Chains A and B, each alone.
Chain A
Amino acid sequence: MEKIGFFVCHCGSNIKATVDPNVVLDGVRSIPGIVVAEQYPYMCAKTGQNMIADAIKTNGLTGIVIAACSPRMHEATFRKVAEAAGLNPYMVEIANIREHVSWIHKNKEEGSQKAVALAKAAIAKVKLNAPLFPEENSVIKRALVIGGGIAGIQAALDIAEAGYEVDLVESSPSIGGKMAQLDKTFPTLDCSACILTPKMVDAASHDKINIMTYSEVEKVEGFVGNFTVTVRKKARSVCMEKCTGCGDCWNKCPVKNIPLEFDLGLQNRKAIYIPFAQALPLVPVIDREHCIMMKSGKCGLCQTVCQPGAIEFDQEDELVTQKYGAVVTATGFETINLDKFGEYAYNDSKDVITSFEFERITHGAGPTGGELKRLSDGRKPKSVTFIQCVGSRDISGRGKPYCSKICCMYTAKHAVLIKDKYPDVNVNVFYIDMRTPGKAYDEFYRRGVEEYGVKYIKGQVGKVVDKGNCLTISAVDLLDNVKMELETDMVILATAIQPVPSAKPLASMLSASIDTNNFMTEAHAKLRPVESPTAGVFLAGAGQGPKDIPETVGQAGAAAAKVIGLLSKDVLLSNPCTAMVDINACNGCSLCAPVCPYGAISYGPATVNDHGLKTIERVSHINQALCQGCGACVVVCPSGAMDLQGFSNKQLLAEVDALC
């Protein structure tokens, strides 16, 4: 026979003002099984906790119900009390009479009656509770960071500094990411390469960091503390160990005129190339699509000139499988395609460029050697016009509904960079709203306006027409409320950013969720911003949402701290409130696995005992470490074989019965 203890908390006046504790106690006292019914002003306080512990020990309670605040607040507290007093922590139920009663009702009489009803439901449930025991899983002390931009580099460095092994996977031939392509950074105008390159070198030389460039994640299995990940190291065709990065190969390569991705196609590269001078590792790759040797077998010049003999045309992709305790996704962003924005004439005119292309033009190592030039005729422009929000905050369906966040500031930076080098150039900026919150950001933008004379025009541009020797912009000046036309020599589009396309398949491999814009979703928008809802997967950088460098570095550090916290544990206790399958009832219909958001369900043979007749059947199998107890499989199971421990169908129905 069960012995249930029942405790009502006053929560000071929070509950007591609207719920009469004596009415609640009187309402449940006569329920069979109730052996203790008590009240206290603050059940969560030490004295209240002792009261519960004493009652458990003295009366040999088999279950307790606490009528108090939301279980989100103190369920963990009371479970600890029960455990310390010798009661299985899963024999504790909470009746939420604060958020669900006292805080939302005014009538004390009705409130008290509702509290009684909720208490009765919780008592009905606790009688059907069974002791549950969390499983222990060991933690692999190694982390995987996906993405070798500043987010990934920072996260890898921080984790490695704490003493854990880190693998850093990057899909392009070098680490560095978008930051490596930038000229200067706002608001301090630090040279981007000067602050990034040392970090790249630190990461490359760190004995705990293993960098895999030109590599992609191919397969993920397992769960928090114990992921098994397969990475495809694409054939570089150059031996990493032998190559000295001397450059003889790419100097001799006869294939020219391949658009250099790093320069957004504004400069060309060879078929064997490094993306930029400070690339890490400083080992070229052969672009097999364009290499003559790979296509026709007739060339091999690079192999001939390579003194260390590092060229390996017959190299093959390599699959590396490794176990990790935690994963950080730092996949970053790209700019959107502008094909649908014909009004800006981007596809029509060489003198209409994106801000990212301008970043290369103003860069000393870029296509113009840092000189401001029109790409059509090489002329120095007399006037440059920036257009902000190109595809951002766009609800027409052509662009993105969100604010890309970084554009106001980088446009302010670009405007100042031009004015600083060429004070005689007129610089106009079309904007919808200026968004410059950030340390020293607004001051920077204002300096552009007040000291450098950058002219800001509130309004969106309707049309850009390339007239050959200049461009005409038709727009509306919303402050003067006039339609305006403006002649300019160069147009720079602050193009919306979006997650890289590989983020979506990666999220699906990791069972991590993404939002409608393919940004990685955080577990809680405010309180768990660097964790994915999938345990053991952490988020850093613009793959989670548009963000600038300081914010990215901050988030990467936070993600690293979470990883370090996880890896510092030897074992992880899993939540035992997971799905459980009754293999005698399961008919292996395969409806449950597709609805499982965590990939916890698989199918396999099991010995089923059917009234003494033992047969081997294909049945559902739950990986307890992966299951998060959401119950989706229980709902979808047609045979009633699936149930949720701690929230079984029987328990829930008993609650409903008690209420009605």
Chain B
Amino acid sequence: MIFDYYPGCTLNTKAKELDIFARKAAEKLGFELREIEDWQCCGAVYPMGADVVASKTPSVRALKASQDNGRALVTLCSACHHVLKRVNRDAAEDAEFRATLTAYDEELEYNGGTEVLHFLEVLRDKIGFDKVKAAVTNPLIGRKIGAYYGCMLLRPGAVMAFDDPESPTIIEDFIKALGATPVTYAMRNECCGGYISLAEKEMSAKMCHAVAEDAVRRGAEELITACPLCAYNVKKQAGDILPITYFTKLLAEALGLDGEEAKANA
């Protein structure tokens, strides 16, 4: 099984672990992430500005490339997943948007036909958590892990169509498949304040603390996330409360892939 893959900028820099472990785990689970050529940064924030050409063209190029390849497009980063799915919806439903783009460049003619998937959706819907469970060689028994969804992975619920935005279960099911114990806590789908971590440090710190403290109160000993911004922010602001890692690292560990070696290659 081959999927087109859009890593996004952060996975080439700050969040290399998110990327490397995913590729290794995919190999072990029998599918390939084939990086699309010449991809450009999605912007990491869904653009609301009037100039759709400047802001949404990179996403449309990636989506169209995947359509031409006849494959689904997989992302790992919460922000990329968020932006690509929303731009994909625009291309499918907004005729004016399509017309503006094609007026700029005929090669941007695209009507939203690509299936955009988060890596977790691939595991749940294409591979199946039962298969993931069967492939686990190093079950993480006894580890109490909290899923930290953050805000972007789930919302807007109708467009992401990822999970129930108010009571998601996909990462908990993932944790269960790896043999660990998921810890459900209320703040798991709240924002970490990542976008204001520079402008309003105190507010952002308060938000990270609220998440980490709620997780600890419910018995979590570590957190996993799919979002580079969450990982960075929570580690920085609340890293002393409990550790946070990428879900792909946990997956690699459970699949018996040598984490240290992978890290060294990174």
Contacts and interface: CB of A to CB of B under 8 A. Distances in A.
Contact of A465 (B166, B167, B186): B186
B187 interface: yes
Contacts of A205: none
B172 interface: no
Contacts of A348: 184, 186
A341 B217 contact: no
A111 B166 CA distance: 61
Interface string A323-355: 000000000000000011111010110000000
A341 B166 contact: yes
Interface string B165-194: 011000000000000000010110110000
Nearest to B189: A342
B186 A466 contact: yes
B214 interface: yes
B200 interface: no
A463 B167 contact: no
B105 interface: no
Contacts of A464: 186
Contacts of A467: 214, 217
A463 B186 contact: yes
A342 B164 contact: yes
B164 A345 contact: no
A340 B164 contact: yes
A297 interface: no
B147 to A, nearest CB: 13
Interface string A367-398: 00000000000000000000000000000010
A468 interface: yes
B166 A468 contact: no
A463 B190 contact: yes
Interface in A372-431: 397
A483 to B, nearest CB: 11
Contacts of A341: 166
B205 to A, nearest CB: 16
Nearest to A345: B186
A397 B165 CA distance: 13
Given A465-B214, A467-B217, A347 B186 contact: no
A343 B187 contact: no
A340 B186 contact: no
B187 A347 contact: no
Contacts of B164: 340, 342
Nearest to A466: B186
Contact of A347 (B158, B167, B214, B217): B167
Contacts of A347: 167
A463 to B, nearest CB: 7
Interface string A473-492: 00000000000000000000
Interface in B27-53: none
Contact of A339 (B167, B184, B187, B190): B167
Given A463-B186, A465-B186, A342 B217 contact: no
A651 B186 CA distance: 69
Contacts of A339: 167
A374 B217 CA distance: 20
Nearest to A348: B186
A343 B166 contact: yes
A466 B185 CA distance: 9
Given A340-B166, A341-B166, A467-B217, 8 more contacts: A342-B164, A343-B166, A397-B158, A463-B190, A464-B186, A465-B186, A465-B214, A467-B214
25 contacts: A339-B167, A340-B164, A340-B166, A340-B167, A341-B166, A342-B164, A342-B166, A342-B167, A342-B189, A343-B166, A345-B186, A347-B167, A348-B184, A348-B186, A397-B158, A463-B186, A463-B190, A464-B186, A465-B186, A465-B187, A465-B214, A466-B186, A467-B214, A467-B217, A468-B217
Interface of A: 339-343, 345, 347-348, 397, 463-468
Interface of B: 158, 164, 166-167, 184, 186-187, 189-190, 214, 217
Nearest 8 interchain pairs by C-beta: A342-B167, A342-B166, A465-B186, A343-B166, A345-B186, A348-B186, A465-B214, A465-B187
